[in-house]
Amino acid sequence: MKELLFTGAGTALVTPFDQDGNILWEELEQLVEFQIENGIDSIIACGTTGEAATMTAEEHLKTIEFIIEKVRGRVPVIAGTGSNDTHFCVELSLEAKKLGADGLLLVTPYYNKTSQKGLEESFNYVADNVKMPCVLYNVPSRTGCNIQPTTYQKLSKNPYIVAVKEANGDTASVARTLALCGDQLAVYSGEDNQTLPIMALGGKGVISVFSNALPRQMHELSAAMLRGDLDSARKLNVEYLDLMDGFFMDVNPIPVKEALFRMGLISTNFCRMPLTTMTEGNQEKLTALLKKHSLL
């Protein structure tokens, strides 16, 4: 069995910006501490939720370095370094490795996309050149590219490809992947509302948006599943499912940033364009959800 980077809940951490789009480093440090103090099992730097797609390479690496320094080894830090340019992905990944990242999050190529053969060759190329634990990230709604279970089976033979963040919304596909790959590929849910079913199938946890606001609750839900306490996990899932869904009523990370702003955890709800603020109607819906869960 390959060594797991983590089990349980990992937070795909937001990046706080001021109204001019500058990174608010002090607030980012406070978010890191909030996560660790509330029992989170891993932090993912510069993923989709961190708005890495709008960062320069310099900003990207500086943010990864900053988070690693502030975490101080207390939990694993996984750096988002995926790209639709495989050679650039290798360059960025090697820099993240030098900075001390515990693992890499590698999204499937977007826009130019590729075939299943191309996915296999590209991910193997990155893993073989970087030589550190890699978590593949399958999110076809954003990339237009879906990794098939048989492709996972081939990729799982690479010693550096250790896991996948699965966000294709297809639990039957997850079941096939787990059946084909066994303990050679860990599966993390990439969608909060799929955490319970994916872990019931044998998944090892979740890479979460919801846990930006409620890290303790997502840690407890995934921990309950890991110890086989389905009743406790089901209770938490039922209690917070509406909020998990609510954080996706607009494009991620718009709603969760709005929630963190309302909760006083960040000072602005600013997202870099092309992302923008929520509509008035969605703001009202989110406010109602936050009040329901005593977060306001």
- The catalytic residues are 137, 165
Question: Which residues are CB-contacts of 84 (< 8 A; sequence separation ≥ 6)?
Answer: 109, 110, 111, 112, 113
Please count the other Cβ atoms lying within 10 Å of the Cβ belonging to residue 223. 19
DSSP per residue over 260-271, as a string?
HHHTTSSS----
The answer to whether 100 and 124 are in contact (CB under 8 A) is: no
Q: Which residue type is seen at 296?
A: L
12 DSSP β-pair partners: 44
Instruction: Kindly give, in sequence order, each residue whose CB lies less than 8 Å from that of residue 75, ignoring residues fewer than 6 positions away.
Output: 6, 35, 36, 40, 41, 42, 43
Check the CA dihedral 151-194-14-275 and report its sign: positive
Contact 8, 223 (CB under 8 A): yes
